[in-house]
């Protein structure tokens, strides 16, 4: 299996690592994309109906929703109906040349197909790193239940700490639990691959959305464990730091991040309020937290007539973290976004860039997310199938080159 698009010249940090991505929607595909960005050869294996995110639109880019484009670049693609014995044999042949398998099926699905890790794959492919992503894990009171990001935000306490104090629990406006589960999974894959260099053995790693949701409760879990006080919603403010919040300037909102006494003194000087730095109510972090309401009132009065861009430039130059509250289009069109190569044109599509920058072996965006089954002929030929055999697999429905439209039950 070559790199996405058949590129044999790119040498990222993970060049030579071969990954089968059987996952759909977000956490698993995001994990696989992170590894693909760094040079791993990732083959996305879709079910007959395709990855659900191909339909999560509008907007659409060609035949697939823009959502699909956010987590599937740098991959090759085929489609298998793993409910058939012939497709399962294709998968097993692909595994002979693979280092990692990533899946996020409902627990028990791989076992139902005779492809369970403990029962089959561990013995047949002892060097395989098997990444299983689930909603709640396989056992315990909630084991084997399905899970989606927003459900886990709700159950994991994330929604309870998000939103304004006078409002109700609110979903974070991006799939935070899914994305971080994908990052955890990619980290787990790298740890398992590193350990394999010593032992020569693969292993099973598990990541679940429930664990991720709980791991995100920083510092709220630690606060509750230490004090017994249930965290409350603080809007954009911080439960332990003040002033760490958004404030209105003359022409828009800024976010002010003052995390220590030195920065507070610099802030006071920059906005012409040196008296605050020696005011006993604001002199140190503990005092500022105790008097955060009155401090906010003082800051709002001081900033209400100041132009936001000028204010942010002044504060940042003084060593005080501050920035304008921008919309998505403003953030993506910012000059620094282009400078950091975080918006990339590839194959007629625009995708986000690679956020991890390595000095000698940088990752890259090399190919747009694949069309459904676009690499079928080349991928299967690489593992020994003849053209006649490939055509027979397609005719029998074990391998698909067109998406089925019937919904998955």
| Interval 101-124: pLDDT, tens | 999 999 999 999 999 999 999 999
Question: pLDDT band at residue 3, thresholds of 50, 70 and 90?
Answer: low
Kindly state the average pLDDT of the residues 9-20.
91
284 is annotated as an active-site residue: no
Q: What is the pLDDT of residue 409?
A: 37
Residue with tokens 């990052």: 183
Q: What is the pLDDT of residue 347?
A: 80
Query: How many Cβ atoms sit within 10 Å of the Cβ of residue 16?
Result: 10
Q: Does the pLDDT value for residue 147 go beyond 60? A: yes
Q: What is the pLDDT of residue 406?
A: 56
CB 103 within 8 A of CB 128: no
Question: pLDDT band at residue 348, thresholds of 50, 70 and 90?
Answer: confident
Q: Does the pLDDT value for residue 8 go beyond 60? A: no
Fold of 244-248+253-324: formyl-coa transferase, domain 3 (3.30.1540)
Question: pLDDT band at residue 4, thresholds of 50, 70 and 90?
Answer: low
Q: Does the pLDDT value for residue 70 go beyond 60? A: yes
Which one is catalytic: 51, 178, 211, 375?
A: 178
Which of these, 282, 306, 304, lies nearest to 294 by C-alpha position? 282
Superfamily of domain 4-216+339-400: Crotonobetainyl-coa:carnitine coa-transferase; domain 1 (3.40.50.10540)
Q: How far is CA 354 from CA 14, 16, 66, 345, in A?
A: 14, 19, 18, 13
Lowest-pLDDT range, 72-81, 221-230, 318-327, 341-350? 341-350
**The tokens of 226 are what?**
């230490």
Q: Which value, in Å, is the radius of gyration of the alpha carbons in the chain?
A: 25
CB 245 within 8 A of CB 236: yes
Residue 155 phi/psi, 5-degree rounding, is: -75, -30
Q: What is the DSSP string of 178-245?
A: HHHHHHHHHHHHHHHHHHHHHHS---EEEEEHHHHHHHT-TTHHHHHHHH-PPP---TTS-SS-TTEE
Q: What is the pLDDT of residue 358?
A: 95
Report the C-alpha gap between 151 and 134 in whole angstroms. 13
Report the C-alpha gap between 368 and 345 in whole angstroms. 9
Kindly state the average pLDDT of the residues 344-367.
92
Domain ranges of the chain: 4-216+339-400, 244-248+253-324
Mean pLDDT of the chain: 94
Q: How far is CA 274 from CA 108, 115, 262, 310, in A?
A: 64, 68, 13, 19
Of all residues in the chain, the percent with pLDDT exceeding 70 is: 97
């Amino acid at each position: 299996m070559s790199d996405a698009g058949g590129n044999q010249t790119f040498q990222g940090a993970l060049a030579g690592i071969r990954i089968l991505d059987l996952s759909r929607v977000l956490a698993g595909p995001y994990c696989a994309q992170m590894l693909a960005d760094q040079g791993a050869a990732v083959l996305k294996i879709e079910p007959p109906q395709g990855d659900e995110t191909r339909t999560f639109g509008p907007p659409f880019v060609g035949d697939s929703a823009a959502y699909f484009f956010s987590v599937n670049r740098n991959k090759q693609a085929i489609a298998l109906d793993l409910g058939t014995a012939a497709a399962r044999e294709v998968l097993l042949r692909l595994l002979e040349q693979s280092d990692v398998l990533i899946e996020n099926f409902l627990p028990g699905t791989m076992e139902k197909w005779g492809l369970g890790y403990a029962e089959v794959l561990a013995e047949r492919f002892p060097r395989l790193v098997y990444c299983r992503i689930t909603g709640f894990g396989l056992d315990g009171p909630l084991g084997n239940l399905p899970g989606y990001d927003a459900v886990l935000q709700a159950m994991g306490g994330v929604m309870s700490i998000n939103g304004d104090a006078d409002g109700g629990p609110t979903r974070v406006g991006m799939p935070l639990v899914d994305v971080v589960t994908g990052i955890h999974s990619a980290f787990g894959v790298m740890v398992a691959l590193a350990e394999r260099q010593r032992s020569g053995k693969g292993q099973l790693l598990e990541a679940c959305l429930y664990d991720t949701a709980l791991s995100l409760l920083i510092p709220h879990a630690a606060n509750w464990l230490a004090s017994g006080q249930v965290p409350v919603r603080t809007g954009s403010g911080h439960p332990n730091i003040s002033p760490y919040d958004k404030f209105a300037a003359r022409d828009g909102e800024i976010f002010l991040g003052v995390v220590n006494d030195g920065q507070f003194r610099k802030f006071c000087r920059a906005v012409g309020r040196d008296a605050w730095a020696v005011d006993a109510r604001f002199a140190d972090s503990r005092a500022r937290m105790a008097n955060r309401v009155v401090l906010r009132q003082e800051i709002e009065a001081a900033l209400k007539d100041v132009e936001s861009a000028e204010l942010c430039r002044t504060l940042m130059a003084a060593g005080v973290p501050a920035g304008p509250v921008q919309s998505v289009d403003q953030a993506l069109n910012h000059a620094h976004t282009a400078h950091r190569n975080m918006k990339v044109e590839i194959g007629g599509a625009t995708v986000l860039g690679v956020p991890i920058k390595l000095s000698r072996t940088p990752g890259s965006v090399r190919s747009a997310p694949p069309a459904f089954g676009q690499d079928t002929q080349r991928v299967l030929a690489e593992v020994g199938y003849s053209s006649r055999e490939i055509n027979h697999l397609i005719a029998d429905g074990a391998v698909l080159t067109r998406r089925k439209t019937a919904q998955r039950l």
